[in-house]
Amino acid sequence: MSEDLKNVEDMGALLEESGDIQNIREHEVVEGTVVQVKREEAYVDIGYKQEIAIPKKELASPEPDSAEDVVKVGDKIRVYIQSLGGENGGVLSKIKADAEVVWDELRAVKAHNDDPETTDLQTVDATITGVVKGGLTATVNGLRGFIPASQMELHFVKDLSTYVGQTVKALPIEIESHKRRLVLSRRQLLEREREIKQQEVFGTLHEGDVLKGVVKRLVEYGAFIDIGGVDGLAHISDLSWERVTHPSDVLKVGQEVDVYVKNVDPEAHRISLSIKQTQRDPWLDRAEGYREGDFIEGKIVKLAKFGAFMEIEPGFDGLIPMGELSDRRIENADEAVAVGDIVKVKVLRIDLKRKRISLSINRARREGANVKVKRYKPPVEPEPAEAPAEAPVEAPAETPAE
């Protein structure tokens, strides 16, 4: 072989070797082979001009007692190149390489979920580690993330500390690996799950259905009730036939109840429910104790332009129309009766559909002279608690006269 040809081949080999080295760049993740392991470090061949040592603190977190606890000779591992050159050949980190793998996985998950044609969402497991201003901190495969308070639930959560220590499914919604910034959302996952369940429920739900439900949340104006993964609202006026001051007076969270479907609005995703319509109206039970033509006593409780309302029994009233209050013509009800009066009336009509009872004082005066009358029984007032007896006061001792 001529000297010139040999020089060309040697130069080609050098260029090829130089090219391999140039392909290894800082701030990238490459695969290397463990060639030597000591207690404090492991040497890795990444195809550079020399093997590079990785301190044990860069092999795993938390730092192991010995590098031998993490790797062994011959292992293929991925390492992050922090820098190249210098006396030691460079600085490598397995921890950062592992983190970069996780970042890549998170980016892949987000890209999948952001695809408009995606029907199945991919989630990550986020372990809640603490409460900070505006939300929660969490870890995902060793990476620190943040869940804004508004992204934890479908509704406002007053006390976020109850989630600390829990592991929840979440979606990565913002990723900036160069800033080590990861923002997660549980709410978006819950919204998607709710949307799927709503489609299923709204497809089979009809007005008039009676279903089992579970009370999920109580608010001033009613109760949200889960009916198979979708919440419906029972207004406070639909919780009971009796007057309800606050939903907590008649319901508690977690309670199973029967509900009547009053209205279904698929477009607005709203379901109106009623608990009282699954129960018999106590008004009807009370009305069964009376017949048209009965003579009864009652107490005037309210005056109106068209007549007077009479309490037949506590919580059960009837109306005496203006023309049935007096034999003479009157303009106002107070010309014949006053609130608090006990009067005798005849039951003219009981309308079960409209839940109305019409009464007459006139008829009772004309026809009720020698008839049996059902007497009015006023509500029993609770006895006031007795005040504790006062301890006798001792008279001050007399001062002897000087």
Inform me whether the pLDDT recorded for 96 exceeds 70.
Answer: yes
The beta-strand segments (E) located in 14-88 are 29-37, 41-45, 52-55, 76-84
Q: What is the model's pLDDT at position 17?
A: 46
Domain total in the chain: 4
List the single range of 99-103, 198-202, 290-294, 386-390 with lowest mean pLDDT.
Answer: 386-390
pLDDT(293) > 90: yes
392 band by pLDDT with thresholds 50, 70 and 90: low
pLDDT band at 383 (very low <50, low <70, confident <90, very high): low
The residue among 221, 251, 278 that closes a domain is: 278
pLDDT digits (tens, 9 = 90+) for 256-276: 999 999 999 988 889 999 999
> What band does 384 get if pLDDT is binned at 50, 70 and 90?
low
Please check whether residue 15 lies inside any domain of the structure: yes
DSSP state of 228: S
Model pLDDT, residue 183: 96
- In a shared domain, residues 334 and 306: yes
Work out the mean pLDDT of the chain and round it to a whole number. 87
Structure tokens at 62: 């938390």
CA neighbours closer than 13 Å in the CB half-sphere of residue 185: 17
For residues 15 and 72, state if they share a domain.
yes
Kindly report, residue by residue over 205-261, the tens digit of the pLDDT.
999 999 999 999 999 999 999 998 889 999 999 999 888 999 999 999 999 999 999
pLDDT exceeds cutoff 70 at 62: yes
Q: Is residue 383 part of a domain?
A: no
Residue-by-residue DSSP string for 17-35: HHHHHHT--TT-EEEEEEE
pTM as predicted = 0.50
Q: Do 220 and 168 lie in a common domain?
A: no
State the residue range of the domain holding 169: 123-190
Q: What is the pLDDT of residues 318-347, one digit of tens each?
A: 999 999 999 899 999 999 999 999 999 999
- Summarize the confidence of residues 14-40 as an average pLDDT: 74
Q: What percent of the chain has pLDDT over 70?
A: 89
Task: Calculate mean pLDDT across residues 303-313.
Answer: 94
Residue 296 lies in a domain: yes
For the cut 90, the answer to whether the pLDDT of residue 196 exceeds it is no
Asked if residues 44 and 52 have their Cβ atoms less than 8 Å apart, the reply is yes
Q: Is the dihedral of CA 142, 148, 153, 154 positive or negative?
A: negative
Could you tell me if 209 and 185 lie in one domain?
no
Are both 141 and 210 inside the same structural domain? no
pLDDT value at residue 16: 45
E strands of 322-393, at which residues?
Answer: 342-351, 356-360, 373-374
Can you tell me whether residue 135 is helix, strand or coil?
strand
pLDDT score recorded for residue 41: 93
Instruction: Give residue-wise pLDDT tens across range 127-157.
Output: 999 999 999 999 998 889 999 999 999 888 9
CA distance 62 to 85: 27
Given a cut of 50, is residue 400 above it in pLDDT? no
Is residue 380 a part of any domain in this protein? no
CA-only gyration radius of the chain, Å? 41
